[in-house]
Structure 1
Amino acid sequence: MGILEDKSNARLFYKYLSKVYDQVNRFNWTEEMRSEALSWLEFGEDDKVLDVGCGTGFGTMGLLEHADDVHGLDQSIHQMEKAFEKFGKHDRVHFYRGDAERLPFADDTFDIVWSSGSIEYWPDPVAGLSEIRRVAKPGGQALVVGPDYPHNRVLQRVADAIMLFYDEEEADRMFTEAGFETFEHHIQRATPQSPRAITTVAQVPEE
C-alpha cells in the first residue's frame, strides 16, 4: 500500500495541496480530458449525479454542465472549502464530508456516479467501487478516473510507494470483483509527456 493510501496521510497531504491544487491539477487532468470523459456518459433530463472524491470541484464543474441535481463528497475539508468558494455550501451542489468506502447514501440513489482523481487514495479500491455500484441505480452509469500504471520500472517502484496505480488488467479485476459486468477502459493524456489516466466507464447491472 502506498503512503497516500493511508487516509490520515491523504488528509494531511491535501491540507497543503489544496492551496495550489487547481493550478497543479490542470497539467495532468485538463478541461479537454474532462469533456471527453463526460461525452462517454449518457445524461438524462432529471438525473441525480454524485461526484465521489469531489475535491475542489473540478469534476463537479463539468457535471453541472449536464445535470442540475449534483452531489459532491470528499474526506478533505480543506479541498471542499475550495469547492464551497466556487459553488457555495448549499447552492448549486449538495456537499457531504465522507469516505468513499462507506458512502452515506441509500442503495439505488444516483443515476450517474463520477469519481476522478480519487481512487488512487482508497486503501480498498474494490470496497469503494462496490459502494459506487450500491448507491447507483440499476441500469445507471459509473465513471472512474485513476492513474495508469507506468511502464518504466523505476517509475513503477516510485508509484507503488506513493499510491495506487493500475493498468487495464487490474482495472478489470477490481471492477469485476465490485460487481460490475459491463465496462470499458480509455487511456487519456494531457500531452505526450504527461502521466496517463485510465478512465473506466461502467454500466450498473440491472437487478
Structure 2
Amino acid sequence: MGVLENKARARTFYKYLSKVYDEINPLVWNEEMRDEAIEMLDLDADDRVLDVGCGTGFATEGLLEHVDTIYGLDQSPHQLSRAFEKFGKLGRVRYHMGDAERLPFKDDSFDAVWSSGSIEYWPNPVDALEEARRITKPGGKVLIVGPDYPNSSIFQKVADAIMLFYDEEEADRMFREAGFEEFEHHIQQSMPGSPRAITTIAEVPE
C-alpha cells in the first residue's frame, strides 16, 4: 500500500495541496480530458449525479454544464472549502463530507457516479467501487478516472510507494470483484510524455 493510501495521511496531504491544486491539476488532467470523459456518461439535465472525491470542484464545474445539480463528496475539509469558494454553499452543488468506502446515501440514489483523481488514495478500491454500484440505479453508469501504471520500472517503484497506480488488467479485476459485468477502459493523456489517465466507464447491472 502506498504512503497516501492512508486516509489520515491523504487528508494532511490535501490540506497543503488544496492551496495550489487548481494550478497543478491541469498538467495531468485538463479540461479537454475531463470534458471527453463527461461525454461518455451521456447525461440528461435532470440526472442525479454524485462526484466522489470532488476536491476543489474541477470535475464538478464540467458536470454542471450537463446537469442541473451535482452532489459532491470529499473527505478533505480543505478541498471542500476551496469548492465552497467557487460554487457557494447553497447553489447548484450539494456538498457532503464523507468516505468513498462508506458512502452516506441510500441504494439506487443516483443516475450516475463520477470520480476522478480519487481512486489512487482509496485503501480498499473494490469496497469503494461496490459502494458506487450500490448507490447507482440499475442501468446507470459509474465512471472512474485513475492514474495508469507507468511503463518505466523506475517510475513503477516510485508509484507503488506513493499511491495506487493500475493498468487495464488490474482495473478488470477490481471492477469484476465489485460486481460490474459491462465496462470499458479508455487511456487519456494531456500531451505526449505526460502521465496517462485510465478512465473506466461501467454500467450497473439491471
Number of aligned residue pairs: 206
The amino acid across from 1:169 in the alignment is: E
Give the secondary structure class of the aligned counterpart of 1:131.
helix
Q: Deviations over 1:45-80 (max 9, x none)?
A: 420000000000000011101001210000000001
**Mapping of 1:83-122 within 5 angstroms?**
83-122=83-122
Match of 1:125 in 2: 125
* Counterparts of 2:95 and 2:16, CA distance in 1: 21
Match of 2:72 in 1: 72
**Mapping of 1:3-42 within 5 angstroms?**
3-42=3-42
* Counterparts of 2:184 and 2:80, CA distance in 1: 30
Match of 2:144 in 1: 144
Determine what percentage of the aligned residue pairs are the same residue: 69
In the alignment, structure 1 segments of 5+ residues that lack a partner are none
Match of 1:46 in 2: 46
Cα RMSD of the aligned pairs, angstroms, is 0.6
Give the secondary structure class of the aligned counterpart of 1:84.
helix
The amino acid across from 1:25 in the alignment is: N
Shift of 1:17: 0.3
- Stretches (4+) displaced over 6 A: none
* Counterparts of 1:117 and 1:89, CA distance in 2: 23
Q: Deviations over 1:85-108 (max 9, x none)?
A: 111112110000000000000000
* Counterparts of 2:167 and 2:106, CA distance in 1: 31
Shift of 1:44: 2.2
Shift of 1:41: 1.1
TM-score after normalising by structure 2:
0.99
* Counterparts of 2:47 and 2:72, CA distance in 1: 14
* Counterparts of 1:55 and 1:67, CA distance in 2: 19
Match of 1:198 in 2: 198
The amino acid across from 1:49 in the alignment is: V
TM-score after normalising by structure 1:
0.98
Give the secondary structure class of the aligned counterpart of 2:129.
helix
Match of 2:57 in 1: 57
